[in-house]
Amino acid sequence: MDKQQVLKEYFGYDSFKPGQEALIDSLLSGRDTLGVMPTGAGKSVCFQVPALMFQGVTLVISPLISLMQDQVTALVSLGIRAAYINSALNQQQVYAVIRNAAQGMYRIIYVAPERLDTALFLELCSKIRVSALIVDEAHCISHWGHDFRPSYLAIPDFIRKLPSRPVVGAFTATATKAVRNDIVRLLEMNYPFELVTGFDRKNLYFEVRKPEDRLADLTGLVHRYCDAGRSGIVYAATRKEVEDITAHLKKEGFAAARYHAGLTDEERRINQEDFIYDRIQVIVATNAFGMGIDKSNVSFVIHHNMPRDMESYYQEAGRAGRDGSPSDCILLFAPRDIHLQRYLIQQSYEQSELPDNEAAAVRKREEKKLSDMINYCTRDACLRGMMLSYFGERYYGSCKNCSFCRQGMVLTDVTVDVQKIMSCIHRVGKGADRAAITAVLQGSQDERIQELGLDALSTFGIMQDRDKKYIDACIEHIMASGMAAADSEGVLHLTRRALPVLKGEERVSARVPDIKGAGSNDEDIDTGLMEKLREVRRTQARVHGMPDYVILSDSALVQLCKAAPTTEKQFMRVEGMTRIKYERYGIAFIKAVKDYKKADKPSAAKEKKIPASKDPQVRARAFEIMKELSLSDFEGFDEKLSLSKLIQKLTHDRDLPKGGTLVIRREVSGRLVAHGALARVENEGHTVTVPGEKAAEYGISLIRTAGEDGSEFEMTAYDSTAQEWIVHRIMGEIQEI
């Protein structure tokens, strides 16, 4: 098999990602190889494909037990013979692995660096043929890196003890020159082939927010993500903050857990596993969390505080979206973060054991890094551009996927709109300033416009569909490029330069607010089917005792959903599917697709939005919980709440199943409709519930509220009267039946 076939056959991918092929070729040719690629770029495949093509065994040195376990589980699930040796195994198990290895059972063995100089392991390596030695997370060998591991320094010694020198490969996501040099020097690599691939991760959306109340903002964000079934990481600066945030999120009803260095090993392990196996949706952590995490379906990373430097930030944020799905990296910034970081730098300076001048140099370097980080948080510019240029990459234009570019300007062909504006300036003639021109274009009902008779012009209202900011930006561009000028009174008039554009001989491009309302990331997929496939994945994960994403990554699940295969052939054509995957889980997925297609469409369509709540077991459990609620404990919440929020508050310490809130909500709103407090109306083919004729009496009203992205939406709000009503009357009614 050649590398292409190996990639397809074992890993199910049709093509290599950027950089993979060159690195694979280099290893296959026997040349030492250093690959520097950002997290999620697919470094493992770079050494796993050659491992399946080499004669002997490939040893992979990896710093963390959990990393090894993850990778080996993934390999075994792909039908590749692999094992690991580390302190997670007892002596018996180690012997078993060694025995099997000596008999040539494995293609890939992951090993902890501490194992390399044990007699048992050295003996094994003298018996088997080690074709390649791969150092994963190779930055751990460097003092400059952020995760220095002294045991990595023993690797070259180990290599020398082998009967023949294997090809040496090193992989890392840390790009700085100092670290790269250290890796090559300390691993004693032979004229290695070095490849550094682009650091841009296009699927990551970056945003910096400066909320007044960070905890409230964070809660809102977490709500939004978790309600959509997404899971993620919240990073906080201190253990105390981790504790506080976790407690708060739990109180709000989220499945959250904490992670920091002050916990017992046991609790850390459990919480991490719960996160990996999707038993909890959010993990709140200090920067102690992450290196061992190969979870590919982390779909948001929120930093509650500004991290100390861009390297840390990019590494931590980069844990989102490793499977290539659109994912969000949000940083909540407050100026007091700066003081904390300065304080920490000062502390480590004062406690440094380095000679004075070196300690001062370190401090200076850290201060510089901090100021770059502050710059990222405070400057108005494309965030991705700033980040990439920090890592030494040139980046031009608007990325369209950061908070600046999404709200900001996009280079657009504005010829037609510029023509409209200029012809308006021309028609209005003397006496109109920018504001008046804009008002005419937008068809404003302003009295001044009517008094001047400008509403009779043919250009009146021709840009009704454009917002003011957009028109402003166009006018700005017209003036900046000299096609129009303003006199001392601010009155606009065209210049000769306007002619070629008005005649249609020249086109105009300008940076203007994105008229298309820059892209939502949500793919257009059948959410009902998606939900079914997710269920199958979950069952299969349980059956095989593996995390969900090892069965299929989220992006593979999306592909599967889009393709909706009903035959083996169709299944195999989906990106990411392999023979082994077909044999193990294919039948189950195909059956789910068939069942879904068979189910009569109207009900399938309805199920799209509310799948779990239709499950009879969920319904039964939700009703049980409703009946068990001790309503006499309710003392009222004084703010205005949505109905779901109220239900969550009431049931927060109960084990409400997924979809349960919806079951209760429907039951409650059904009764409110019967009381005339709510009404059902048809809207674009959907039935929606709105305040009814008696809404005011019940304390129910429609309010406008701002979503976390600043967009406004309408919400039916329940004030304390309404909450009383619902709890004591409506819920009471339900409890009685």
Footprint on this chain of ligand ADP (rule: CB under 6 A): 13, 16-17, 20, 37, 39-45, 294, 296, 322-323, 553
Question: C-beta of 41: minimal distance to ligand ADP in Å?
Answer: 4
Nearer to ligand ADP, 42 or 192 (CB): 42
For residue 5, the minimal CB distance to ligand ADP (Å) is 13
Dist. CA 71–CA 319, nearest whole Å: 16
Query: Which of 41/285 has CB closer to ligand ADP?
Result: 41
Cβ closer to Mg ion: 39 or 648?
Answer: 39
Q: How far is the CB of 151 from ligand ADP (least distance, A)?
A: 20
CA dihedral 121, 123, 128, 134 (to 10 degrees): 40
Shortest distance (Å) from residue 13 CB to ligand ADP: 4
Binding at 322: pick from ligand ADP, Mg ion, none (beta carbon under 5-8 Å per type): ligand ADP
Give Cα 674 distance to the centre of its chain.
42
Phi-psi bin for 443: left (phi > 0), alpha (psi -120 to 50), beta?
left
63 binds, among ligand ADP, Mg ion, none (CB under 5 to 8 A by kind): none
Min CB(78)–ligand ADP separation in Å: 9
d(CA 380, CA 516): 22
By a kind-dependent CB cut-off of 5 to 8 A, residue 403 interacts, out of Mg ion, ligand ADP, none, with none
Output the smallest distance, CB 185 to ligand ADP, in A.
23
Closest CB to ligand ADP among 180 and 260?
180
Closer to ligand ADP by CB, 17 or 608: give it.
Answer: 17
Minimum CB separation of residue 44 from Mg ion in Å reads 5
17 binds, among ligand ADP, Mg ion, none (CB under 5 to 8 A by kind): ligand ADP
Which amino acid is present at 116?
Answer: L
Residue 42 contact among ligand ADP, Mg ion, none, beta carbon within 5 to 8 Å by kind? ligand ADP
CB closer to ligand ADP out of 24 and 484? 24
- Residue 337: name its binding partner from ligand ADP, Mg ion, none (Cβ under 5 to 8 Å by kind): none
Q: Which residue is nearest to ligand ADP (CB)?
A: 42
Q: Which residues contact 258 (CB under 8 A, 6 or more apart)?
A: 242, 243, 246, 271, 283, 284, 285
Identify the DSSP state of 35: E
Strand partners, 235: 285, 303
Q: Between residues 24 and 377, which has the closer beta carbon with respect to ligand ADP?
A: 24
- Angle at the Cα of 231 from the Cα atoms of 531 and 137, rounded to 5 degrees: 120
Which of the listed partners (ligand ADP, Mg ion, none) does 158 bind, with a CB threshold of 5 to 8 Å by partner kind? none
Q: 3-class SS at 33?
A: strand
Q: Strand 298-303 and strand 509-513: pairing?
A: unpaired
Residue closer to ligand ADP, measured from CB, 290 or 408:
290
For helices 660-674 and 616-628, give the axis angle rounded to 10 degrees.
Answer: 70
Hey, which residues does 82 pair with through a beta bridge?
Answer: 108
Residue 232: φ, ψ to 5°: -170, -175
- Angle among Cα 512, 517, 518 to the nearest 5 degrees reads 85
Closest to Mg ion by CB, 40 or 565: 40
Q: Is 713 helix (H, G, I), strand (E, B) or coil?
A: strand
Non-local (6+) Cβ contacts of 299 within 8 A are 225, 230, 231, 232, 320, 321, 325, 327, 328, 554
Closest separation between CB of residue 567 and ligand ADP, Å? 23
Residues interacting with Mg ion, by CB under 5 A?
A: 43
The DSSP code for 496 is G
Residue type, 680: R
**Interaction partner, residue 37 (ligand ADP, Mg ion, none; CB < 5-8 Å by kind):** ligand ADP
Burial class of residue 91, CB neighbours in 10 A (0-12, 13-18, 19+):
exposed
Residue 307 binds which one of Mg ion, ligand ADP, none, with CB within 5 to 8 A depending on kind? none
Instruction: Pick between residue 41 and residue 83 the one whose CB is nearest to ligand ADP.
Output: 41
Q: Which does 32 bind (CB under 5 to 8 A by kind): ligand ADP, Mg ion, none?
A: none
Residue 41 or 474 having the CB closest to ligand ADP: 41
* Smallest distance from ligand ADP to CB 473, Å: 39
**Which residue number is nearest to Mg ion in terms of Cβ?**
43
- Helix, strand, or coil here: 155? helix
Task: Name the token pair of 417.
Answer: 């709109």
Crossing angle between the packed helical segments 310-317 and 356-378, to the nearest 10 degrees: 60
* Minimum CB distance to ligand ADP smaller for 38 or for 113: 38
- Going by the DSSP 8-state scheme, the letter that residue 162 receives in this structure is S
3-state secondary structure of 277: coil
Residues 6+ apart with CB under 8 A from 214: 304, 332, 334
| One-letter amino acid for residue 616 of the chain | P
Cα atoms found within 13 Å of the Cα of residue 624, Cβ hemisphere only: 10
Angle between the N-to-C axes of helices 527-544 and 554-563, in degrees from 0 to 180, rounded to the nearest 10: 130
Cβ proximity to Mg ion, 146 vs 511, nearer residue: 146
Angle between helix 43-53 and 20-28 (nearest 10): 30
CA distance 718 to 648: 14
Closer residue to ligand ADP, CB minimum distance, 10 or 404: 10
Q: How far is the CB of 593 from ligand ADP (least distance, A)?
A: 22
**Minimum gap (Å) between residue 575 Cβ and ligand ADP:** 7
Shortest reach from residue 110's CB to ligand ADP, in Å = 13
CB proximity list for 371: less than 8 A, separation 6 or greater? none
Could you tell me the smallest distance in angstroms from the CB atom of residue 269 to ligand ADP?
Answer: 21
Smallest separation (angstroms) from ligand ADP to the CB of 43: 3
Residue number with CB closer to ligand ADP (46 or 471):
46
Q: Please state the closest distance from residue 74 (CB atom) to Mg ion, in A.
A: 11
Give all strands of the β-sheet with 256-259 in edge-to-edge order: 204-209, 327-332, 298-303, 231-235, 282-285, 256-259
Residue whose entry in the numeric block shows the structure tokens 């001989």: 505
For 328, the token pair is 């969000």
Minimum gap (Å) between residue 373 Cβ and ligand ADP: 23
Contact indicator for 67, 55 with CB cutoff of 8 Å: no
CA angle 369/370/374 to nearest 5° reads 120
- State the distance between the two ends of the chain, measured CA to CA, in whole angstroms: 67
316 touches, from Mg ion, ligand ADP, none (C-beta below 5 to 8 Å by class): none
Strands 298-303 and 327-332: parallel
Amino acid at 220: G
Task: Report the residue number, 43 or 115, with the smaller CB distance to ligand ADP.
Answer: 43
Taking the C-alpha atoms of residue 370 and residue 79, their distance in angstroms, rounded to an integer, is 46
For the CB of residue 136, give the shortest distance to Mg ion in the complex, in Å: 6
- Closest to Mg ion by CB, 295 vs 466, is 295
